[in-house]
Structure 1
Amino acid sequence: MYAHARDNLPVGKVGTAIDIAKGNLFVIDNSFMTGAIIDINGGVLVAGFLPPPRT
């Protein structure tokens, strides 16, 4: 599953805690940004890759 996810993401890698932290720092450091939803997901939505639903 890990390799499948990595290979199908536009960024070519699975995110790490550092990737999430960088996204958070971007929002915190931007004093002009308000009310935005920032998807830090490596392009999962663009690639159409979503894990199968849990049964």
Structure 2
Amino acid sequence: MSDQHIDPAGNTQAFRAFANAREQEAAAKPKKSPLVPVIAVVAAIVVVGVVAFLLLQ
């Protein structure tokens, strides 16, 4: 049988603990820099350009 008495303070405390844990986890992760993908795209464009130049000579 289910309990007829629900403790709202317990639920609120559990939610606050969950929310605080998520905030701390998000703050602990380093933010990723878009530098690596940008360099990869530029390098790919340069390679395609060099190959196209060599083929058209």
Q: Please report the TM-score for the alignment, with normalisation by the length of structure 2.
A: 0.29
Counting helix residues as a fraction of each chain, which structure ranks higher? Answer: 2
Considering Cα pairs closer than 8 Å and 6+ residues apart, tell me whether 1 or 2 has the greater RCO: 1
